[in-house]
Amino acid sequence: MSETVGGNGTGAARRRRRDPEWTYGALVDALLQLVAETGREPTRKAVAERAGVSERTVFVHFADREALYVAAARRQAERWRAHAEAVPPEWGTARKVTALLDQRGRMYEVMTPIRRIGLGLEPDSPGLREVMAAGDAWFRADLAAAFAPELAPVPGADAPGGLLDALDAASSWAAWDHLRARRGLDGAAAGAALARTLRALLGAREPDSTE
């Protein structure tokens, strides 16, 4: 993190580093930045250097690696939820599909690096399982709200194996990552493929300019 050199700037930086809340946030942000830049799990030393604190400080605020990653996952989830915009359920189906996947595509691109690392740590981390499950539940609830009019007439739409499950799977991060990482599609092509699947599930025609 950059700091103002000299005079009051240096004094302010020192005061910030003595603020536990600031330091905690700086370490979490440093981890997220490094993971986003490299796609890999950084060392504690790298996290501390990026945050502008000593490596020992990492251990003061986080008991272990899991605690740091849980905090990072929560911070990222809080940020994208705060900026998410609900898709109005009264819009036409095809328009809603486009809007929802445009927004999710942006979210998925940001969350992919930390999500991949989190999946590797999740089996041994109750904290990460909880955070990731909460995120998945939020995405599902957002989907159910946007397409409530389409789901309402379908018997058992929210039952196991029902239409909501199909929509959830088709618009998930896992589906997005498969198309991006395994199929090599760019963001626009991945979004178009998922949109086609959602429209088919919902019986919607191709979007047009008048909808």
**170 closest CA partner among 204, 128, 209:** 204
Q: How far is CA 17 from CA 14, 27, 124, 205, in A?
A: 5, 11, 32, 56
pTM above 0.85, yes or no: no
Contacts of 25 (CB under 8 A, 6+ apart): 75
pLDDT tens, residue by residue, 166-198: 999 999 999 999 999 999 999 999 999 999 999
pLDDT tens, residue by residue, 82-130: 888 999 999 999 999 999 999 999 999 999 999 999 999 999 999 999 9
Q: What tokens were used for 58? A: 């990492």
Pick among 3.40.1350, 3.30.70, 1.25.40, 1.10.10: CATH of 7-62: 1.10.10
**150 closest CA partner among 90, 210, 197:** 90
Q: Are 53 and 61 in contact (CB under 8 A)?
A: no
Q: What tokens were used for 116? A: 């991949």
The answer, yes or no, to whether residue 4 has pLDDT greater than 50, is no
What pLDDT score was predicted for residue 81?
84
Among 8-17, 50-59, 91-100, 197-206, the minimum mean pLDDT is found in 8-17
